[in-house]
Amino acid sequence: MVTTTLDAEWSSRHGLPVGQYQSHLIGPRYVGLALGSFDLLTGFLDDVSTVRIVHVFKDAHPPIPAGITRYISDLAAASVARGSEVDVFVAGVKRTRIDERPDGVRIHRFSESARLLSMPLSMKLVTAAQSVRADIVHLHLPNPVGELGAIANRGSHGLVLSFHAQLGKQRMLGPLYGPFQELLVRRADRVLASSQMLMAAPELAGAGDRLRFAPYGVSPRMVLPAASIERSTGSTMRVLFVGRLVYYKGIEVLFDAVSAMDDVRLTVLGDGDLRPALIERLSSDSRLAQKVTMRHDADDDEVLQAHLDHDVVVLPSVSRAEAFGLSMAEAMANGLPAISTALGTGTDWVNLQNRTGLVVPPGDAVALRDAIERMRAPALRARLASGALVRARTAFCFETHADKVHGWYEEAVANAA
């Protein structure tokens, strides 16, 4: 990475502000120049170009604060900070529009007619993915609609795939969708997987030596200064759930576990399709309602405060669609021990049994209840909290992750040249 100073005349001609620019991608179209006289740029001006990166997914943050949407948002911001131009292609609206964030990331929101099995039905997203021209196209899988467009795109860009999870609700589409995904995996310059479990997924068998291990990093904005982490204790067990209220999160199982306990308070921070049914359950069960608080619009500061105000974070997911558990990793980074379920996915690697938390069988409300009860022991809770904080801040450092991803971007551009 080097820095280049551009003067007013060149900047005006190319639509860039006067100042210093950092060059991260070196190849036929990207020239790194040492600091010095502007005259040294002679002969290179036509080769210097701002790197354009386009992410393709189904939703974006804001407004959807899910783990993957927040991750894409953070990664896009990190790319802009490195001097790149970043666009995010998603669906999720009735009328197509472009939103520009304060940091310069442009979110292209394409209209969709409906959702089927959690997939947006959006021909405009397909067309956009098919016609996009960029230096890097970063596809986030699974997203069958966006992937269809990417398959038809014959541009010469670098292609990076992030394989976030295996199919959940859409698994019935496997026989039809599988060959298309296999084609993309074979075509990609780099394929990223967030856990060793996903690295071994049969869907990635065709990636070969282009497969990279890329555990997510906890967003810097979600990490409190270690010295500021102080947590009060009491007789009431304070349980926290943060995440989307969707079928695979297992929130109903957590309700079952809490309903059978005394001296417990559950806070649910999140929104999603199951929210109306959960509220209806609370309205018909006054005893459970006294134990549960639900918030659908908590911002980052409120989530951070919740990390301080609770004793344990619970991720009770029941499907392999839960591939990592970023919200759990965030809470761990702020000293909360975790309780998660044994899914055979990255969650088993994020939360280590008896080191950072406890792990129970998925869908087992009794086992979940017993694990929460075990967490009442102050010594156990303190030991696991310490392990959780150290692991999350070392294994899931966002700056390290972003550096690796941008290195893989460089490799992808070099392959595509």
| Sequence-distant (≥ 6) Cβ neighbours of residue 52 within 8 angstroms | 84, 85, 86, 87, 134, 135, 136
| Sequence-distant (≥ 6) Cβ neighbours of residue 47 within 8 angstroms | 28, 29, 30, 31
**Cα–Cα dist 311/358, whole Å:** 13
415 contacts 188 by C-beta, under 8 angstroms: no
pLDDT digits (tens, 9 = 90+) for 269-300: 999 999 999 999 999 999 999 999 999 989 99
Kindly write down the DSSP assignment for every residue of 261-314, as one continuous string: -SSEEEEEE--STTHHHHHHHHHH-HHHHTTEEEES---HHHHHHHHHH-SEEE
178 contacts 199 by C-beta, under 8 angstroms: no
What is the predicted pLDDT for the residue at 25?
39
What is the radius of gyration, based on Cα positions, of the chain?
Answer: 23
Cis peptide before 215 (omega within 30 of 0): no
What is the predicted pLDDT for the residue at 26?
31
**Cα–Cα dist 90/79, whole Å:** 18
Helix (H, G, I), strand (E, B) or coil at 78: helix
What is the domain class of 52-217+397-416 according to CATH?
alpha beta
**Cα–Cα dist 286/243, whole Å:** 24
pLDDT digits (tens, 9 = 90+) for 213-269: 999 999 999 999 987 888 877 889 999 999 999 999 999 999 999 999 999 999 999
CATH architecture of 220-395: 3-Layer(aba) Sandwich (3.40)
What is the predicted pLDDT for the residue at 168?
66
What pTM was computed for the model?
0.81
What is the predicted pLDDT for the residue at 156?
84
**Fold: same for 52-217+397-416 and 220-395:** yes
pLDDT digits (tens, 9 = 90+) for 307-341: 999 999 999 999 988 989 999 999 999 999 999 99
Q: What is the mean pLDDT of the chain?
A: 87
Maximal C-alpha separation, the chain = 76
Kindly write down the DSSP assignment for every residue of 206-248, as one continuous string: GGGGGEEE----B-GGG---GGG------SSEEEEEES--SGG
- Dihedral of CA atoms 308, 310, 314, 315 in degrees, nearest 10, equals -40
The percentage of residues in the chain with a pLDDT greater than 90, rounded to a whole number, is 75
Residue ranges per structural domain of the chain: 2-47, 52-217+397-416, 220-395
pLDDT digits (tens, 9 = 90+) for 79-91: 999 999 999 999 9
User: With bands split at pLDDT 50, 70 and 90, how would you rate the model's confidence at 12?
Assistant: very low
Helix, strand, coil percentages for the chain (3-state, nearest 5): 45, 20, 35
pLDDT of 377 higher than 60: yes
